[in-house]
Amino acid sequence: MALVWSKQGPVSFLFFSLLLTMFSVMSALPSQQTPSTFGTPLVLLVSFDGFRWDYLDRTDTPHFDSFVREGVKAKYIFDTFASKTFPNHYSIATGLYQESHGIVGNVMYDPFSGANFSLSVKQNPVWWNDGEPIWVTNQKQGGHSALIMYPGMEVKIRGQYATYRLPEYNSTFPFKERIDMITNFFANDSVNLGLLYFHEPDHSGHVLGPDSPGMDAVLQMCDETLGYLMEQLRNAGLDDRVDVIITSDHGMTPVSSNNFVQLDDFVDPSLYHYTNNNPVFGIWPFKESDVEVIYSKLQGVGPNVNAYLKEEIPARYHYRAHPHIAPIVLVAKEGWAIHRGNDTSRSYYLGNHGYNNSLMSMHPIFIARGPSFRRGLVVEPFENVNIYPLICQILGLEPAPNNGSLGNVQDLLRYSGVVKKSTTPETFTTESGSNAKPPSSTLSTSTIIGIAIAGAVLIVAVCLLVAMCARQRSYRQPPRQYTPIADTSLDVADDDIDDSGFSSYNYPNTKI
């Protein structure tokens, strides 16, 4: 195609000058920028299981450090009680406390059906359907989601699987391959939401203890994992398009095999069955009449275990209302465990979690970067149930009922967000107060005035342009043709990705 040059310099100059003026006026208006300005909003939620809030300060983690500088960080966040893996991953995904979504432990019992839930028996949707996870919310409103090893991945929740998922959890699946899969989904425009899970540093924290010098190598491996993730996003041209949220389900505290309470010393084991989510222990008496009897005996269990009737569990735990919660709940003090009979499983552990979620050792991390997030900001702690409404805000989704509040996390964002529907979703009533309403989408007065000014400028520009064109008709000259210069730019191939820089540390069943 030939380039065309014409002798209308004054007209063009005037026209473009006026356009520049109009652009300047519009630029001065209050920013309403959202990710949709640059295309469909994209969110990747990454969970490093058991990543305690202060792990970032104990060893060299350059990729985490760079991520924090380019985004936002909470000093720490509060996980939900009990501080266990499945319950908290579902609280993050649904914005619900455990008493609301019903996943109250890694081990559960349903008193109505007599069914048992464990990490190996978890696919029945009945356990999960009390909450709506973010991937179901996204898909109900036209989005597509990918789950890589995230808890709940194998389950058809409220009639839906994730759009893309692996059929079952596999801890030996290399971390790099998990990253490659999730980034390919984004690169191919297959999804607008991804959830990615890594079982470290939780696994090593249990075996080595969180304060062990050996944990430094594990944390450096996690840092290299993040580095590889960001490299793959950059290679795909996605690092400035995807909002990446990195968080965890809980922290970790040191434990000793000597610190335990033997339950059989206080209560006849023939009177009850139990759910063991050490350090939280559920007592299910076979007879309702034995509830008070057993509870009375447990008052002598000592200072290192608290025994609660279900209805007397502290309100701050939000752990009373669901039928999956036992009639009697025991909660060990930090660093202690509860044993029954010869069950000393995991007594070799040097680290554990599940304790009072107000303990500093139980707090996980939260950091985020991307087009929606501010840069270099550190905020006060907030509850992990606020992550669900945050993601809904970024993706422009109407949230399902939840215990979170967008108002608690709104300051993380660079913009007011996009909300597809103007109605405020119904939310659960909580002791901490009701949810904040989404920001109003009504145009401000200054915005309206600015648009009016810009419109007037454009009208004047068009009128002047028409007048100038009319005056120049008498001496318009035929255009001269120029052949475009051939493109001589070089094709530069992408550098090969060098993976040799990864740490040589290899923990069993852990591959980068």
Whose structure tokens read 């808890």? 151
Parallel/antiparallel/unpaired status of strands 193-198 and 145-148: parallel
Q: Which two tokens stand for residue 324?
A: 């999956």
Q: Which of 34, 85, 137, 427 is catalytic?
A: 85
CA gyration radius, the chain: 29
Measured distance CA(273)–CA(109) in Å, rounded:
10
- Let me know: does 401 contact 130? Beta carbons within 8 Å: no
Token output for 351: 């680290």
Given a contact cutoff of 8 angstroms between Cβ atoms, the answer to whether 140 and 189 are in contact is no
Which residues lie closer than 8 Å to 404 by C-beta, 6 or more apart? 95, 383, 385, 386, 387, 388, 389, 390, 435
Query: Exposed (0-12), middle (13-18) or buried (19+): which is 92, by Cβ within 10 Å?
Result: buried
Strands (E) in 326-449, as ranges, are 328-332, 337-339, 351-352, 366-369, 377-379, 382-383
Q: Are 335 and 256 spatial neighbours (Cβ–Cβ below 8 Å)? A: yes
d(CA 38, CA 23): 18
437 residue type, one letter: K
H or E element that contains 137: helix 134-140
- Asked if 359 contacts 222 with a C-beta cutoff of 8 angstroms, the reply is no
Tokens of 67: 């991520």
Backbone angles phi, psi at 104, to 5 degrees: -100, 5
Beta bridge partners, 280, equal 277, 331
Could you tell me whether strands 377-379 and 72-74 are parallel, antiparallel, or unpaired per DSSP bridges? parallel
The secondary structure of 351-383 as a DSSP string is EE--S-TTSGGG-B-EEEESTTB-SSEEE--EE
Terminal-to-terminal C-alpha distance of the chain: 51
Cβ–Cβ under 8 Å, residues 318 and 325:
no
Strands 253-254 and 260-262: unpaired
Known catalytic membership, residue 85:
yes
Q: How far apart are CA 265 and CA 338, in angstroms?
A: 11
Packing angle between helix 175-187 and helix 215-235, nearest 10 degrees?
A: 20
Query: Angle at Cα 358 formed by Cα 352 and Cα 361, nearest 5°?
Result: 40
Distance from C-alpha of 210 to C-alpha of 98, rounded to nearest angstrom: 26
Catalytic residues: 85
